[in-house]
Every structure is written in C-alpha cells, then in structure tokens.
Amino acid sequence: MPVQPSPSLPDTALSHAAPPDAATHAVAEEQRHLDAALARRSQLLAELDAQLAVRADPDLPGAEDVVERSRRAGLRRRRTELERAESGLVFGRVDTVDGVTRHVGRVGIAASDDDADPLVLDWRADGARAFYTATAREPQGLARRRHVRTAGDRVTGVDDEPLDGSATGTDDEDGLVGEGALLAALSERRTGRMGTAVATLQVEQDAIVRAPAERTLVVQGGPGTGKTVVALHRVAYLLFTQPHLAERGVLLLGPSTRFLEYVAQVLPALGETAVVSATCDTLVPGAAPERDESRDVAELKGRALWQDVVARYADSLVPDARALTVRLDGEPLTLDAARVGQVLRAARAGGRSVLAARRRAVDLLLDALVDEAAARHAELLERVEEGFEDVLGKLDAGLAARDDRAPTTGARGGDVDGELTDDDLDRLRGELARDAGFTAVHDAWWPVTDARTALADLLGDAALLARHAPELTPAEVRRVTGEPSGLAPSDVPLLDALADALGTPDAPGEQGEFLAQRAATHRGWVYGHVVVDEAQELSPMQWHMVLRRCPTRSVTAVGDVDQTEAPHRHTDWADVVAPVFGERWHRADLTICYRTPREVMELVGPVLRAAGSRNAPPRAVRDAGVPPRDVVVPAGTSDAALGTAVAAEVARLAERYDGGSVGVVAPRDRLSHLGAAVRGVPVLSTSEAKGLEWDAVVVVDPDGIAAEPRGWNGLYVAMTRCTQELARVTVGAPSGRV
C-alpha cells in the first residue's frame, strides 16, 4: 500500500475551512522551514564529503584500522541517508499544548552541531511517535498535527488537524490519524512501484513498526492493510534504533522477484542500504530451481521431518574407522583402526559440520602419523644403540685380553645422539601434508562431498532414501525418487539444510565492497534481522532456512493465512511458525483495509467463507464511488475472443485511470493466451499477483480461478488487488458462488 505525500492536491488545502489568507500563511511558514532544512542538509553533505575525502592512514595498527573503517562506514551511511532524503525531507509538524513546535521528517537534522533542538526530528525517534499516534480522544499533549505536502523543494499544501477539541468533527470514528492526508495519498494513481508511507503511518501500523525485535513478530493482516509497508518501515526503524544490526544487515524475503522489484525503492528512499532482498528460491547462491514440481511432492518435501532425514544422511557420509597406511621414504606408516577411531571421535567433537570435521581429521591424522614416525625412529635408534654397545663391548674385551694396560673405549650406546628435535618433527609433518600419497589415502578414506551431488544421490535412490527417512511411507519414497533430475523449488531448502550439515570445503570468501553484496554471495551469512513477506506461504523447511540465517530469531513475518495458496494448507499461524520457533513468537494484527475500497470488500465475504476462513475481512475505510463491473462472455468462447474481450476492458480502464496502472489476474491455464492478447499490462496468476496492487484490476474467469488448488484463497487475492475499480470477466453464466 504505497502511501505518500500527494502533490496533486490544491496548493492551499487546509483542514476545517481555514480562511485563504491563513492557508497561504501556513504554506509560506512551512516553506521557510523547508528552505532552512534543505540548506542545512546541503551543509552537512559538504562536511561529510570533506571528511570522506581524507584518505585513511594505511599504517594504522590493526585495532585502530578496524575503528577507522567502522567510522568511515558510518559516515557513508549518514551521507546516503541525507542524500536520499531530499524528497519529502519534511512532511509533518506537531504543536504541543505548551507551545513547542517540532517538525518531523525522513531524517534528523540538527540546527547546528551543538544545538540539541533539531531542525527536523527523525520520524523514527521517540519524540516523533505522537505524530503517528495522537488522536482527538488521546491527544498526548498535542494541540495540533500538521501534514506538509511537498513537491521537490516546494511546499504545495498543508493539512491541519486540531487535537485540542477546538474543532468539531475530529472524533476519529474510523481510528485514523491524519485522515485528510491519508485519503489523499490513497487516491493517488499507482505507478507500478511501492512508495513510502512514512508520512501517513496509522496507529496500529506504528505500533508494529516500533515493536521490540527480541522475539519473532508475526503480523496477520488482510489485503490492503499495509503489511508490506509496515514491514519495510520496521526495517528502517530497527536500523535506526539498533545500529549494530547494520553490521550484519537485514534480509528481506519476498514471495517473488516481481514483488521484490515492486518494493525495491522503499528502503533506499528511507536511506537504508544494508538490506539483502531474496526469495526462498534464490536464497542459496548458485542453486536456482530448474524445473516445476507437483503440489503433492512440494508438500511432501516441505515437511519438517526432512531436517532429521538430512542430519542422518550427512552423518552417514562420515567414514568408519579402519586402518590407514601411508608410505614415507618407501617405508609404510600404519595407523590401526583403534587409533583412527580416536581421530574420528576427536574430529567430530563439538558438533562440527561434516567437512569441518574432515579438515580436523586430516590435521589429527598428520599428528598421529608424525607420532608414529617418531616412535618408529626412536625404536630404530634404540636398536642401533644396543647393537653399538654390543660391538664396543666385544672390542673392549679383545683389547683387555691382549694387554691389561690397553685403554678401553669407555663408550656407551646412550652417547649416540640421533633423537628428533621439534624442528625435525615440524619438517616431517610438512612433508607428509604435501605428500601426494597421504592426500590419496585420506581422500579415499573420507572423500570431499558436494552438497548438490549428495542430495541428488539421496533423492534418486529409493533404498538410500528409505534407509535415512523411515518417516516416509514406501509410496512417498517412490513419489520423491520418481521425480525428474534437476532442482525443483522444494529442493532448495533441502540443499540448504544439507549444505549446512556438510559445511563448506573451504572458508567462503566475501565478495563485494558493500555488505549487501558480501551477504548475497555467502550462503552461511547470519543476518541481524529477517523480514518475511507473505510468510503464510513458507513450508517448514523454508522456515528452517530463515532460522539458519538468523539464529537469534529476530524475525518479522507478515502475511495473511486467508491468502495461503501453498500446498501445506496452513490455516492458523501457530501451524505456520510454532514447529520452528516454538513459543518464542507473538502476534499482532492489522484490521483496517486502506487499499481496497468498500465496494470491493463487500463482495469478498462469501469468497473468504468458501476458502474455509473463520475470519472477517478487514474493514475498508473509504469508498471509491465506482461499483465493480461484470462482463460475461458466452460459454465456449474461444481463447482469441476471450482475449479480445479482456483487452477491451483493459483499454477502458487504462483510459479511465490515465497515468495509473491496470493489472490482469487469471487462471494459470489462460495466461499464455491472454498475455498474447493484452499488451502493456501485467497478466498474472494469483500467486504472482500476491503483494502487488493496481488502480484497476481485471479478474478473468473467477470460476476458473476458484477451481484451481486453493482456488478460493487465490480468488480472494485476485479480487483485492485494486485501489479503485474491480472488473470481472466471467466465462459462461456466473456460478453464483463468485
């Protein structure tokens, strides 16, 4: 739900029928303040540029260099924040009953370096919260709230909202704050990109934005309640209040790449860059799905039981203890099975991954072989010394027999110095480590296992899978192993789990200058916070992917269980998250629909009930003044004729909402024909349309959508994508259920 300042309203719009001169004065007053804020912003940018232009000392000691790099990273973040705040730098103002005035904007700007009173108060600061939460019933010490509309560097209008009871009609029956600014923003044309809602966040939205991040937060909200907006603004708020999160970054997990493109401008517009965007399908670098799969197999491979299956399978890839022999200078060095068993137990201690244990085992094998070589050397030396003593003894006896006065050798075998020094042992260890024979022996004993190859082996071998997955029935094993080769979407979480259990052959490199670039190339990156949109669609194995990337469980999950189309059929949030997060989560609800007008929301109740929901649709707060339109084409109409009818409806809506956007949502089996017939607008399935919105939407063949798997849920999604007008093109006589 893009909610943003509207430059299209009259320049001197002022609430409660203020006189024209008062409106003009208010605009001029806010223009002076905006000019001052922009000038100060330019000054701060120049100062930051000067500081960043000073090259860092390359000879700084390690600790000081870390501090300096951190300082410069902070300067760059602040510069980015200021640079991107030019549009809508100031969007609000509050006047307290004590006569104090504060301006609220995208970023905080101090009047001067030593002035504690800000020229602009950052919207995320505690002092700005009343701008979003004060009402006429609970004014929180405010006499007035003002929304300031701007276009570039010009103030185009203000909207005043008295909170001290001085005006009638301010008893917020709808629970809205800044109603005039909000409804104006909701009426704007959609551009195909989500904008920020920083100026018009509502009370229940603000509470979620500012909720603590220590536990997993699950946000349930129907269509148009602003779930995505809330989640993205929560990211900006958390990065502001907990700067350490920027060191690890934030992961935004969306339902599709189209959705991520749709929301891509929001966080940069709020000055945030420490964010990585991905889908579950793209979360593992280099492992995108290569084929589709059936819903029943996707459900089967999404079950949580695969965590244990993968763990057992990974353990099976650790070799058994057996005697190992390496030749050194042509002589065999042998470690018996008992000694190799000791190496294995020590290598696996501490819960190391398989490949980390392998690396440790190689080190321990080298130690054991050096010990064996040293013992062999000592044994040989002892034999030499014993033989030398025997020879010398015989020589002394012979000399004594010839002449009692002859001198004896006086020598003992212990005087022969041949012991290995520490340097000798280190050299021997190095020779062994570089020896091709040693490498061949330990590679044959414990081969390096590639996660993708290992997963293909597991999923392609019925006997192997049955051995490690006793939870599966024989029929389920056959369904899994009967799938074609190549990665399917449900394989990606399995691959991630197996890669985690196996570990990486070598320490992964971090590629890229910026955090987002480094994190995106690093499968094992741990984030400071994770946001999951359309969270109801995730399978248990996909949730385990999330947990591996944020073991602190600092997660914000937003979604609507009534829009679930995934094959796992979750109908309650406890079913979705409890298997992974246990009781360490809490729920918040969004109950007001800002996007979809009343005329449309009045139609979705029966659809929601047909989907099996026990929930009421969210409450719409506005009328569009346009009733939904129904177009009926005869049963048996050809694909070409249906495409012509849909194209005509799209053309009508495109003309009506010139400068806005139109979308088409249809059953999957009609997409290719409609896509060829309708040009210039997106033609999507209900799954692809999730999270998106348009001014007007054409829903094609509602009965066909309802007949798809989880089709009533999909139809609920399709009918609630519009901000102004809904058109339905029905094939044949309507069923009466839609």
Helix (H, G, I), strand (E, B) or coil at 358: helix
Query: Quick one: pLDDT at residue 74?
Result: 83
Give yes or no for residue 208 having a pLDDT over 90. Answer: yes
Separation between Cα atoms, residue 84 and residue 236, nearest integer Å: 13
Query: Quick one: pLDDT at residue 172?
Result: 52
Query: Quick one: pLDDT at residue 617?
Result: 86
Span of 96-105, 574-583, 705-714 with lowest mean pLDDT: 574-583
Average confidence (pLDDT) over 713-718 = 94
Span of 71-75, 419-423, 666-670, 674-678 with lowest mean pLDDT: 419-423
Give the distance from CA 542 to its chain's centroid: 12
Give yes or no for residue 355 having a pLDDT over 70. Answer: yes
**Structure-token match 């022996």, residue found:** 441
Give the distance from CA 229 to its chain's centroid: 15
Query: Quick one: pLDDT at residue 414?
Result: 41
Binding residues for ATP: 221-228
Query: Quick one: pLDDT at residue 409?
Result: 44
Query: Quick one: pLDDT at residue 413?
Result: 41
| 50-66 pLDDT per residue, tens | 998 887 666 666 656 67
Cβ(275)–Cβ(516) below 8 Å: yes
| 324-335 pLDDT per residue, tens | 999 877 788 899
Residue type, 410: G
pLDDT band at 425; cut points 50, 70, 90: confident
Supply the Cα-derived Rg of the chain in whole angstroms: 35
**Nearest to residue 514, comparing CAs of 80, 84, 195, 83?**
80
Average confidence (pLDDT) over 452-480 = 97
Query: Quick one: pLDDT at residue 282?
Result: 94
Between the alpha carbon of residue 84 and those of residues 51, 268, 275, 557, 566, the distances in Å are: 19, 7, 16, 27, 38
pLDDT band at 513; cut points 50, 70, 90: low
Higher-confidence position of 68 and 229 = 229
The backbone region for 625, taken as left when phi is positive above 0, alpha when psi lies in -120 to 50, beta otherwise, is left
pLDDT band at 19; cut points 50, 70, 90: low
Give yes or no for residue 76 having a pLDDT over 50. Answer: yes
Query: Quick one: pLDDT at residue 395?
Result: 52
Helix (H, G, I), strand (E, B) or coil at 565: coil
Give yes or no for residue 39 having a pLDDT over 70. Answer: yes
Residues 6+ apart with CB under 8 A from 398: none
Cβ(226)–Cβ(197) below 8 Å: yes
Query: Quick one: pLDDT at residue 61?
Result: 65
**Nearest to residue 246, comparing CAs of 263, 271, 228, 266?**
271
Higher-confidence position of 187 and 731 = 731
Q: Residue 562 phi/psi, 5° resolution?
A: -75, -10
Give yes or no for residue 626 having a pLDDT over 90. Answer: yes
Cβ(170)–Cβ(163) below 8 Å: yes
| 431-448 pLDDT per residue, tens | 888 989 999 999 999 999
Higher-confidence position of 563 and 513 = 563
DSSP type of residue 152: T
| 518-545 pLDDT per residue, tens | 777 788 899 999 999 999 999 999 999 9
Separation between Cα atoms, residue 482 and residue 462, nearest integer Å: 9
Span of 17-31, 316-330, 461-475, 488-502 with lowest mean pLDDT: 17-31
Query: Quick one: pLDDT at residue 180?
Result: 62
Instruction: Please report the DSSP string for 290-343 in residue order.
Output: -S---HHHHHHHTSTTHHHHHHHHHHHTSPPP--EEEEETTEEEEE-HHHHHHH
Average confidence (pLDDT) over 27-43 = 94
Q: Residue 369 phi/psi, 5° resolution?
A: -70, -40
Higher-confidence position of 98 and 372 = 98
Binding residues: 221-228
Average confidence (pLDDT) over 495-510 = 78
Span of 195-209, 336-350, 518-532 with lowest mean pLDDT: 195-209
| 637-681 pLDDT per residue, tens | 999 999 999 999 999 999 999 988 999 999 999 999 999 999 899
The class level of CATH for 598-731 reads: alpha beta
Query: Quick one: pLDDT at residue 411?
Result: 43
Boundaries of every domain in the chain: 20-188, 245-305+461-497+527-591, 318-448, 598-731
Q: Residue 33 phi/psi, 5° resolution?
A: -70, -40
Query: Quick one: pLDDT at residue 141?
Result: 93
Give yes or no for residue 195 having a pLDDT over 80. Answer: no
Q: Residue 602 phi/psi, 5° resolution?
A: -65, -20
pLDDT band at 392; cut points 50, 70, 90: low
Query: Quick one: pLDDT at residue 170?
Result: 47
**Structure-token match 């469980």, residue found:** 553
Q: Residue 78 phi/psi, 5° resolution?
A: -65, -40
The backbone region for 499, taken as left when phi is positive above 0, alpha when psi lies in -120 to 50, beta otherwise, is alpha
Average pLDDT taken over every residue of the chain: 85
Q: pTM, whole model, 2 decimals?
A: 0.82
Query: Quick one: pLDDT at residue 11?
Result: 40
Separation between Cα atoms, residue 295 and residue 568, nearest integer Å: 9
pLDDT band at 3; cut points 50, 70, 90: very low
Contacts 24+ apart (CB under 8 A), 481-488: 483/293, 483/297, 483/459, 484/291, 485/456, 485/460, 486/290, 486/291, 487/287, 487/288, 487/289, 487/290, 487/291, 487/452, 488/289, 488/290, 488/291, 488/292, 488/293, 488/297, 488/298, 488/301
Higher-confidence position of 239 and 376 = 239
